[in-house]
Amino acid sequence: MHSGLGFLTGTYANVKWALNLQQDDVYWCTADVGWLTFPIFALVGGLAHGATHVIYEGSIDTPTPERPYQIIEKYRADKVFTAPTALRMLRRAGDDAVKKYDLSRMGLVALVGEPLDPETWQWTHDILGGGTMFVNNTYGQTETGTAWASSMVGLTPTRPGSCGHPLPGYRAEVVHEDGTPCAPGELGSLTLTESFPCLARTVWGDHDRYVETYLREFPGKYAAADAALLDADGQLWVTGRLDDVMNVAGHRLGTMEMEAALLTHPAVSEAAVVAMPDDIKGAVPVAFVVPRAGLNFDTDLTWLENELADAVVAGVGAIARPGKVVVTPTVPRTRSGKIMRRLLRDLLLTGEVTGDLTSLENPDALDTVRGRLTQ
């Protein structure tokens, strides 16, 4: 549950800082209307700034991966809010596709939803944006009612892979399991230490659940359940859900750094890493990789699997070498394009999926991944 006025206050300020949205802008938020990103950045916060909105229902890569370029060109959009996965899908379509459309008006891309790897940031800035685009990676949650960390357009710097910094009115702290603050650059649990207008007030009909989920673990703080670090300059780096932080032979590894290493390989479009239990090491990483266009899946791909494992070692260290690399033409994702890593984990461990599947956009991907796992 959110306060109506509190939500409006937070989203208006959030859009102002993260997008600098003006009344003469043509603005496209690609999020599905059922994902709170759409009310935050379009329906409430976006419209509060009076900009012209482009609204599109359905998967943005249907019927062709070039569909986003067609929409941007047709409506002359100059600002786009989307997810890192959507940019990776565009990158998979190839650089030549960018040149086919007039994207010259587009000066800003903002992002939320999952960690943004530096490789995708650079591609967005250099190829999609012609070297001049402002790429603003943000961080927030449904519960916080805003993407409360980002760069402020025109005021503060952006850094490839980071989520900017806590915006005015938000106080972030990364802590150890015992609640003590982490040092700059040290990975820990992300918390917020003060309340703010757009923070969820409770869970409908179950306030005890709200307290237990968000406030009990670190008394006096809101627990985001995400792993993160604050660097020496105050930039926030979110590496994924705490559940995705794996302990490999005594080393705490976040999935983001391994996925970023995989994305440095020229054949890779998307990557997701999950943990597989191991009797000796406790856990080992398993990588699921979607290649860029042109790969023949009917051939032996052992060479690529070995190169990708080496890329992780080169980028993170020998301790992070994947126990398995699964090259697959697709992965399960939500309607907003976000990879559903929990389903990959289910398929890896049991071959079946559990839990809520209502947000799954492409059910056929489950059989595809299952087939790749058995090869």
Is the pLDDT confidence value at 361 over 90? no
For residue 143, pLDDT over 70 is answered with yes
Among 3.40.50.300, 3.30.300.30, 3.30.1490.20, 3.30.450.40, what is the CATH number of 245-373? 3.30.300.30
Average the pLDDT over 125-131 and give the result. 94
- How many residues are recorded in the chain? 375
The stretch 206-217 carries a mean pLDDT of: 96
User: Residues 22-27: what's their mean pLDDT?
Assistant: 95
Q: Tell which residue, 45, 117, 37, has the closest CA to residue 82.
A: 37
Region 137-157: mean pLDDT is 94
Give the tens place of pLDDT for each residue, 341-351. Answer: 999 999 999 99
Task: Average the pLDDT over 179-197 and give the result.
Answer: 95
**Cα–Cα distance between 312 and 260 in angstroms, integer?**
9
- Place 242 in a pLDDT band, splitting at 50, 70 and 90: confident
- φ/ψ region of 239 (left if φ > 0, alpha if ψ in -120 to 50, else beta) reads alpha
Looking at residues 15-35, what average pLDDT do you find?
92
Band (pLDDT 50/70/90 cuts) for residue 356 is confident
d(CA 268, CA 246): 23
Domain map of the chain by residue range? 4-164, 172-240, 245-373
Q: Residue 271: pLDDT band by 50, 70, 90 thresholds?
A: very high
**pTM value?**
0.79
| pLDDT at site 170 | 97
Q: What is the percentage of the chain residues whose pLDDT exceeds 70? A: 99
State the pLDDT at residue 295: 83
Rounded to an integer, what distance in angstroms lies between the CA atom of residue 172 and that of residue 148?
10
Fold of 4-164: Rossmann fold (3.40.50)
> Out of 151-160, 243-252, 325-334, which region has the weakest mean confidence (pLDDT)?
243-252
- Average of pLDDT values for 58-81? 92
Distances (CA, A) of 265 to 15, 66, 270, 309, 314: 34, 23, 10, 10, 11
- For the chain, give me the number of helices (H) and strands (E)? 11, 17
Element (H, E) at 258: helix 255-262
Q: Same topology for domains 172-240 and 245-373, yes or no?
A: no
pLDDT tens column, 108-121? 999 998 778 888 89
97: three-class secondary structure by DSSP: helix
336 has pLDDT over 70: no
The answer for residues whose C-beta is within 8 angstroms of residue 356's C-beta and 6 or more apart is none
- Judged against a pLDDT cut of 90, whether residue 134 lies above it is answered with yes
315, 264 Cβ separation under 8 angstroms: yes
* Separation of alpha carbons 184 and 70, rounded Å: 43
**pLDDT value, residue 304:** 94
pLDDT tier for residue 222 given thresholds of 50, 70 and 90 = very high
Residue 23 has a pLDDT of 92
**Would you say 160 and 146 are in contact if contact means Cβ atoms under 8 Å apart?**
no
Task: Give the full edge-to-edge strand order of the sheet including 165-166.
Answer: 139-141, 146-150, 165-166
What contacts 9, CB < 8 A, 6 or more positions away? Answer: 197, 198
Report CA 271 to chain centroid distance, whole Å: 12
* 136 — pLDDT class (breaks 50, 70, 90): very high
Instruction: Give the C-alpha distances (Å, rounded to integers) separating 222 from 193, 197, 240.
Output: 6, 14, 17
| Residue 215 · residue 169 · CB < 8 Å | no
Mean pLDDT of 345-372: 91
- Which class would CATH give 172-240? mainly beta
Mean pLDDT score across all residues of the chain? 91
Tell me which of 138-152, 155-169, 246-260 is least confident. Answer: 246-260
